[in-house]
Amino acid sequence: MENNLITGGAGFIGSYLTGRLLKMGQRVVCVDNFELGRPENIEKYQRNPDFKLCECDVSDEKAFNKIVEKYNVERIYHLAANSDIQKSARFPEIDFKDTCTTTYSVLEAMRRNKIHKLFFASTSAVYGNKVGINLSENIGELSPISYYGASKLSSEAFISAYAYMNDFEALIFRFPNVIGPGLTHGVIFDFIQKLKKNPEELEILGDGTQCKPYLYVDDLVDAIIKFSMKKRIGVETYNIGVDTATTVKEIADMVCEKLGLTKVKYKYTGGNVGWKGDVPVFQYDLSKIYETGWKPQHNSNESVKATLESLKL
């Protein structure tokens, strides 16, 4: 049993990870400022004596360090970050504060308290827009085109330096689009909200041909648990995802079918991206993580369908 701290623990992925660790008999300190995290995501854990909730902005270095000291934290899962990518495309300070600054705060708390075990949630956006290339972990020229991707890549760089200087054991997963029950943002969530307001017309950003891999949240959390508990030296980085991908148009069709809507008019905003900084198409090279024996239980379309089946609409 360890004292685990999860930043962004009341968020979509963080709450799943919280539940899984508690089920394993681990102790969990959930830290969240509830800008994006939701109290209802962790409400069912409140009576568990191994669960502690601390409302705190992780970018507040002093406040966060006090929490780490108080609970004798041994391992940190750093999930806190901006996830409203469209908003941060207009306001880059959001990514700097919620991603870069939170990462620095976590690393400093680890250094000061001699904590060595770290998991970091990174993203495919660190690669930038590399058309027609299967993205592998050792590819050169990481050139993000969004503030979100840049903040994640800068966080990876800080983790690399802190790991070397302080003998950290750091695991980095570069996430694709992660979906599942309780999702709070993203294309599926947006389509449902739009169709509830107007079931006759659906605005689709771009031209609908954007095509990306979608990973089911249970598959992701399985991998986080499996890999984070292993002993390592320095930093290990993995792409995590699925071999297949799903277009935005296909998702729109599946959402309409789930809602029982047959005559929805699609209104495209045009172009092959949803917003400036969006990467319309990417596919991972997953050979590194597959060589360990891990594989997801759902492909991309299955992840979308399972997510829709879980939603109470």
Q: Given this model, what pLDDT does residue 274 score?
A: 84
Residue-wise pLDDT for 46-99, tens only, equals 999 999 999 999 999 999 999 999 999 999 999 999 888 888 888 999 999 999
292 belongs to a structural domain: no
Question: Quick one: 77 and 124 in the same domain?
Answer: yes
Q: Given this model, what pLDDT does residue 31 score?
A: 98
Mean pLDDT throughout 206-222?
Answer: 96
161 belongs to a structural domain: yes
Question: Quick one: 150 and 173 in the same domain?
Answer: yes
> Could you tell me the two tokens for 163?
């790991």
The size of the chain, in residues, is 313
Residue 270: domain span = 181-212+244-280+298-310
Question: Quick one: 160 and 193 in the same domain?
Answer: no
288 belongs to a structural domain: no
Q: Given this model, what pLDDT does residue 259 score?
A: 95
Beta pairing, strands 117-123 & 27-32: unpaired
Q: Given this model, what pLDDT does residue 120 score?
A: 98
The pTM of this model reads 0.94
Mean pLDDT throughout 130-155?
Answer: 93
| Rounded Cα–Cα distance for residues 11 and 98 (Å) | 14
Question: Quick one: 263 and 167 in the same domain?
Answer: no
Residue-wise pLDDT for 248-275, tens only, equals 999 999 999 999 999 999 999 999 888 8
What b/e string do you get for 60-69 counting C-beta neighbours within 10 Å, with b at 16 or more?
ebeebbebbe
CATH number at residue 91: 3.40.50.720
Is the pLDDT at 313 greater than 80? The verdict is no
CATH number at residue 190: 3.90.25.10
